[in-house]
Structure 1
Amino acid sequence: MNGRDGEVREVRIASWRRRVGAWLIDIILVGILWDLLAGAAGPITQFHFWLPPGPIFSAWFVHLGSGDALILFAYWTVLEGTRGQSLGKMALGLKVTDRRGDAIDLSRAAIQSFGKAFLLPVDVLIGWIAMPGSGQRLFNRLSETIVVLVDDSAPEGVRYVRPG
């Protein structure tokens, strides 16, 4: 794609492996935080995620209920709509952008977050089948967003050095 001055901007699409890693980090962190907040508020509610039973997923934070998807939807919409990154994406060097690699707004973040929070298996499966090789879920396509690798290089005129 051409940039503002005719230059071609390179936007590196994130791998599915990294995206799943960021998703796992997000659901674990949000689950722990919500359980702590719910514990402080008393036994009014608890936040648990549902994943298939097994030794990897048998921890206390892995049981998903219906209200949990609303919390994740709000979490992803706000963070990705304002910063472009959830905590999981920050940890793994990913960012949600528009197709040109520019920042997205809350409305685009809400559309792409909806699929991730409420319809993830269907969202991913349709993306793999209908848009092979694109690295997009269905709701990424509907929101005109992509998940990209963050360019962590130093700005022009800066060189990072480590002491010692």
Structure 2
Amino acid sequence: MDDSRRTLHIASWDDRFLAWLLDVLLVGVVLSALGEAAGVFSLLTGSLSVTTPFTGLNGLGLFVYWTALEGRQGQSVGKMVMNIAVTDERGNAIDYGTAAIESFGKAFLLPIDILVGWLVYEEEGLRLFNKLSSTVVIETDEEEAGKPSDVEYVYPDER
């Protein structure tokens, strides 16, 4: 057997949903606060502000948020809390371009993205845009998250 073989544990739909919900709430609060500030500004200047849930600025905000965080470190805040991450099919980090493809579906086309995933890729635990971007969402080891694989840490109580 190949010693370099990796075992990836695909994240559950429940963990993925909770991570998504946390992200949507976080981005929604930030965008609402910015919208309120813009609303005050628009009242003063006489211009109009247009936002609609999960489209327009909210969808764009979520797309930028997921692309930036997942392209940089494979995890959004919701994924960090749920100890899951998005990786390529081999468990390696993804780049910003891949993160943009993966994020597009959940930011703008979530019902289609999930429905196609459940109907066509149920066994693999993929959304449509995971398949299109060749990504998977995996469980991370809470103990080892963020630690280099070639370093062992010895804590004061272990000496």
TM-score by length of structure 2 reads 0.81
1:47-126 equivalences under 5 Å are 49=53, 64-126=54-116
- After superposition, the Cα gap between the structure-2 partners of 1:161 and 1:115, relative to the gap in structure 1 and judged at 3 Å, is farther
- After superposition, the Cα gap between the structure-2 partners of 1:25 and 1:160, relative to the gap in structure 1 and judged at 3 Å, is farther
**Which blocks of at least 5 consecutive residues in structure 1 are unaligned?**
50-63
**Which blocks of at least 5 consecutive residues in structure 2 are unaligned?**
43-48
Whole-angstrom CA distance in 1 between matches of 2:5 and 2:154: 24
- Quick one: which amino acid aligns to residue 25 of structure 1? L
Q: Percent identity?
A: 47
Whole-angstrom CA distance in 2 between matches of 1:46 and 1:148: 37
- After superposition, the Cα gap between the structure-2 partners of 1:89 and 1:47, relative to the gap in structure 1 and judged at 3 Å, is farther
After superposition, the C-alpha distances for 1:17-66 in whole angstroms (9 at most, x for unaligned) are 000000000010111111122323443447663xxxxxxxxxxxxxx443
Segments of 4+ moved more than 6 angstroms:
none
In structure 2, the partner of 1:23 is 20
- Counting matched residue pairs gives 145
Whole-angstrom CA distance in 2 between matches of 1:148 and 1:105: 16
Q: Does 1:148 align with 2:138?
A: yes
Larger radius of gyration: 2
Q: Which has the higher contact order (CA 8 A, sep 6+)?
A: 2
